[in-house]
Amino acid sequence: MVMMSFRFALVALARFAVSATKPSLIFTMVDDWGRFNAGFHGNSLAKTPVMDALVRDEAILLERHYTYKYCSPTRRSFLSGRFPPHSGEINTVAATVDYRMRTIAERLAEAGYVTAHVGKWHAGHFSMAQTPHGRGFATSFGYFNGAEDHWTQQDTEDCKHNVTDIWDGTAPAFGVNGTGYGDLHFVERAVSVIEQAAGAPLFMYVALQCAHQPMEAPARMIQLHESAPSPVEYAMVSLVDEAVGNITASLKATGIWTNTLLIVASDNGGPSFSDQFAATNWPLRGGKYSVFEGGVRNNAFVTGGFLPSELRGKRLDAVLHVCDWYATFLGLAGIEADDNHDGVPEVDSVDQWPVLLGQAEPNVDRDIFLASGVLLVDRWKLITTDPGSENGGRSNNTQWSGPLYPQVPAFGDGSKVGCSTDVPCLFDVVSDPSEFTDLAAIRPDIVRNLSTRLAALMLGVFEGQAAANYTATDVCNATVRQGGYLTPADFPFQESL
Ligand SMILES: *[C@@H]1O[C@H](CO)[C@@H](O)[C@H](O)[C@H]1NC(C)=O
Ligand SMILES: *[C@@H]1O[C@H](CO)[C@@H](O)[C@H](O)[C@H]1NC(C)=O
Ligand SMILES: *[C@@H]1O[C@H](CO)[C@@H](O)[C@H](O)[C@H]1NC(C)=O
Ligand SMILES: *[C@@H]1O[C@H](CO)[C@@H](O)[C@H](O)[C@H]1NC(C)=O
Ligand SMILES: *[C@@H]1O[C@H](CO)[C@@H](O)[C@H](O)[C@H]1NC(C)=O
Ligand SMILES: *[C@@H]1O[C@H](CO)[C@@H](O)[C@H](O)[C@H]1NC(C)=O
Ligand SMILES: *[C@@H]1O[C@H](CO)[C@@H](O)[C@H](O)[C@H]1NC(C)=O
């Protein structure tokens, strides 16, 4: 009898221990961060002391973390656990996550997590069901679209005139606009979410506005970089650094840090295509809007007290894709990353926790479906489309960034690249990370192998369906009804949706 109750007590204790050890999971997505705009990658102009110290002492630097070449598809890939060609590649105001897919927030809420979103969304706002709250985040504070003025929160993407894009949970954040710099508001909210979460496992998605254009930053940050060739670009990156500092400080002060995994990652490469957009991805080729490494292989690291101490200060060269956090987080939360529905691509995400721990070899034969027409298999990248024609065909998208701004192409003219289905390009991005040499003619065997695999994948390209059928005009009408605050067409929110 005594033994039995002792055993029951042990079982109860073990259960408690399991639920109590579910780590808090915080994903900080940086916007348009150039690979070389970071002190930890060797740029002495970049003042990023907080992140440099984390990378040196407390993090695993993820040297091959892949995303989409621009914004919304990366975010939808993270939210849905699918590669961008399986979760949508459009980047317009109509972009959304297929309504049948269950997002990482919905799944983690099932596993008992407190869920919160802060900052940029860019994953649907035509209907309430597409908003962060509709997609599983218990709380949310931020903006819907891809960009807006950092100070006024005015957005020029919708309605063909300026609207105010700032939202809190299930309603516009009336009165917040024009009272401060966006990321300062967002980090303040992130800190208050942390302070209120003590006790429950937290999943927070912090999507910072920096270092996206418009080129604006607080004066104190610009002053730090007066001697740099592009002070505002560097200022916005320093603001990201301070944001990461404030978030880690509050995690440490609340004690949550010891059981937290914190990821910091850029959504795509830095825009390096003109004097106005002054990021640098040196020594990689290309930047935002290009499928060269500079556009899709971005700054990322994983840190937090949950990371075994012997792994801190290391770097990992295994290929990870931003969609992998879906299965990795769900695995840590103790649930399966299954999410299969008729007519919807299956989850592509792979639980990378064993690879991060060094307990499993990465799968070097895995298809990383980077974009329509582009396949990465470990060291080989096959490109069957124009690698940088998006965004008005800016030829600088495929140039080699110089280490400094202005963007003097660092290694000659990279603007003329012909890659097509008929004449694909092939790069060995391990031995040639700057993608100088197209090996297609020398390795027809690899081209044949990857082309066959890519052709099969191309049959499954999927943009997804919206959760409701509204148009941009419907959204504008709702926005007018709310006094100019960007608002989904079917506002207010119906919990039964
Ligand atoms: C729209 O917003 C931009 C950025 O804040 C501003 O420069 C411009 O003057 C605004 N235009 C109108 C018509 O209000
Ligand atoms: C960080 O916190 C300090 C102190 O509260 C504050 O002054 C600063 O604006 C914060 N910075 C960011 C980027 O949130
Ligand atoms: C390409 O970069 C050069 C050098 O910075 C710049 O002068 C030029 O305007 C850029 N071209 C485009 C199309 O943005
Ligand atoms: C490609 O090569 C891999 C590894 O050598 C092999 O397993 C696979 O069957 C090949 N695929 C095709 C379509 O040739
Ligand atoms: C939206 O409209 C399309 C075409 O009319 C239809 O096939 C689809 O089922 C609708 N989606 C929803 C969620 O109602
Ligand atoms: C939306 O606004 C447009 C033009 O402003 C108007 O023509 C249309 O009737 C409105 N639609 C609804 C459903 O209110
Ligand atoms: C906030 O946005 C609303 C709606 O666009 C606008 O009417 C108001 O003037 C803005 N407030 C400030 C302080 O800019």
Q: Which residues line ligand 6 (CB under 6 A)?
A: 473, 477
Looking at every residue in the chain, the average pLDDT score rounds to 92
Binning pLDDT at 50, 70 and 90, where does residue 305 land? very high
Binning pLDDT at 50, 70 and 90, where does residue 227 land? confident
Poorest-pLDDT segment among 109-118, 279-288, 431-440:
279-288
Say which amino acid occupies 33.
W
- Among left, alpha and beta (phi > 0; psi -120 to 50; other), residue 483 is left
For 185-202, the pLDDT digits (tens) are 999 999 999 999 967 899
Tokens of 296: 């899709």
Binning pLDDT at 50, 70 and 90, where does residue 8 land? very low
Q: Is 413 in the pocket of ligand 3 (CB under 6 A)?
A: no
State the distance from the centre of ligand 1 to the C-alpha of 473, rounded, in angstroms: 20
Ligand approaching nearest to the C-alpha of 178 = 7
For 131-147, the pLDDT digits (tens) are 999 999 999 999 999 99
Binning pLDDT at 50, 70 and 90, where does residue 170 land? very high
pTM of the model: 0.93
Q: Ligand 4 pocket: which of 378, 449, 451 to mutate (most atoms <8 Å of CB)?
A: 449
What pLDDT score was predicted for residue 407? 59
Binning pLDDT at 50, 70 and 90, where does residue 401 land? confident
What pLDDT score was predicted for residue 156? 79
Q: Is 403 in the pocket of ligand 7 (CB under 6 A)?
A: no
Give the residue-averaged pLDDT of 327-331: 98
Give the residue-averaged pLDDT of 487-497: 80
| Residue 1 clears pLDDT 80, i.e. is over it | no
Q: Is 401 in the pocket of ligand 3 (CB under 6 A)?
A: no
What is the separation of C-alpha 60 from the centre of its chain, rounded to a whole number of angstroms?
17
- Among left, alpha and beta (phi > 0; psi -120 to 50; other), residue 343 is left
